[in-house]
Amino acid sequence: MASGWACFLNSAMPSPEYPGATACMKDRFTSSHTASSSPANMVLTRMSLMICASLFFLCRFFCPYHRKAAKVKGGQDRFLCSFLLLTTEGAVSIYLYMDKKKRKDEIVDKRLEAGNYRHEIAMQVPEGSTRIFEYGFGDGSLLLGLERDRGCREMYGVEVSPHAIAQMDGLLDGAWLIDLNKPDAWLEEEYENFFNYILAPMSLEHTYDPWYVLKKFNKYLAHGGKVILQVPNAQSWTCLYHVLTGDFPYVSGGTWDYTHIRWYTLKSLVDIAFVAGFKVEMYIPEIPNNVDIARLQEKREMHVLRLPPPELGEMDLKPIDIAMPYDIGETYPLFLATSLIVTLVKDRTPEDCAPTPRDCYLESYRLITPNPLAHNPPLIAHPIVPSGFQRSLEKAKRLHEKMGKS
């Protein structure tokens, strides 16, 4: 899946600084170390084990003799005994280090061989970065890959799976078995304003209260840090085609995975981020590799949306043409993107850090969100329930005044 380019919401057109980035991702990562299976690594591990065993027996049988002889011969024998013990300890440390490295390499290499390593997310984290936190780290391959292949340090993460926590035992600098959706799930105070990067690849669609979780991200993100999200794109042509033909499939894996409980478009992510005190700095539409990115970047007016998009080539599907009442040329790539990578930066401290309530809470934010995509004319009426519209307006006014004072 090719991302094509990075797009900045404060510019009229996508930035050309990211062309073809994904094309080199696979080459860069598949050529990374395979130390877990290299002969040199296996020899070192076996040698460390042999040294450990040999020195253990030396200390076990030799040291008691020297302890007795020390009464006559003085400190030389005590020195030899101590030397043997320290050497054994060093050999054990080497063995444990090699064993841990082997475990890490096996996890990353397994995901690389399967072809589903999260290259696109990894490439958004600069080499040598520190204090990286992943929301829902799964098998841990992304964090361990960043550590091994991009020289990153200080890796942390949360998971709701006890099995995932057990598999990563001792491999991360910090791991929590908690569900950040819950009001009693917090990291320790020392991690406030701590992390330089918070990663949430393909996890926010599994999150019941993304507004609340993002508020916690705001609390833990260091000043100048970034949150990098990756979500399936509900605006993609495949989603539209299925819904227009009356289909809403539930399957295992992919965009239509039955465990997905939230759906996002770029516009809705801007709204959600604003509630949590963030603004969208950049987004990357992940577009299939066979699309001509250069042609897609050309400025052109579009008033008809064809599904499937002709840029994808011949497909065994009957085309659907949708007449749009405004020019969709600028946002057309969003219809081709199967998923989105979105970078968030802090804009302000959230007005609260509580679970998302009802009573027109989200509606009041929606009315004042500075959304760059809101200039597109709405095709239907505002979705706020009519009975709560006036209350939403009043709350939005108070909220706006509160933000102006802060």
Tokens representing residue 85 in the block: 């013990």
pLDDT of residue 292: 87
180 in Cβ contact with 209 (< 8 Å): no
User: What pLDDT score was predicted for residue 25?
Assistant: 34
CA distance 272 to 366: 9
pLDDT, residue 296, reads 83
Longest dimension (CA), the chain: 101
The model's pTM: 0.81
pLDDT (tens digit, 0 to 9) for every residue of the chain, 406 residues total? 555 567 776 543 343 333 333 333 333 333 333 333 444 455 555 555 566 556 555 555 555 544 454 454 455 556 666 665 666 666 666 755 677 899 999 999 999 999 889 999 999 999 999 999 999 999 999 999 999 999 999 999 999 999 999 999 999 999 999 999 999 999 999 999 999 999 999 999 999 999 999 999 999 999 999 999 999 999 999 999 999 999 999 999 999 999 999 999 999 999 999 999 999 999 999 999 889 888 888 878 999 999 999 999 889 999 999 999 889 998 999 999 999 999 999 999 999 999 999 889 999 999 999 988 876 666 566 678 888 889 999 999 999 999 987 6
Structure tokens given for 276: 């949590």
Backbone phi and psi for residue 358, each to the nearest 5 degrees, phi listed first: -90, -145
Helix ranges (DSSP H) in 184-245: 210-220, 237-244
- Whether the ω angle into residue 308 lies within 30 degrees of 0, i.e. cis, is yes
Per-residue confidence (pLDDT) for residue 125, from 0 to 100: 98
Helical (H) or strand (E) element with 275: helix 266-275
DSSP states along 62-125? HHHHHHHHHHHHTHHHHHHHHHHHHHHHHHHHHHHHHHHHHHHHHHHHHHHHHT---HHHHTTS
Query: How far is residue 77's CA from residue 107's CA, in Å, rounded to a whole number?
Result: 46
* φ/ψ of residue 322, rounded to 5: -120, 120
Distance CA 350, CA 6 (A): 27
Angstrom distances, CA of residue 327 to CA of 14, 67, 141, 304, 336: 16, 89, 42, 9, 16
Element (H, E) at 401: helix 389-405
Cross-strand partners of 135 = 158
Question: Which long-range CB contacts under 8 A does 367-371 form with residues at least 24 apart?
Answer: 367/392, 367/393, 367/396, 368/396, 368/399, 368/400, 368/403, 369/270, 369/271, 369/274, 369/275, 370/274, 371/267, 371/270, 371/271, 371/274
Q: Is 350 exposed, middle or buried (0-12, 13-18, 19+ CB in 10 A)?
A: buried
pLDDT number for residue 265: 96
| Integer Cα distance of 141 and 109 in angstroms | 8
Nearest to 231 by CA among 369, 135, 370, 348: 135
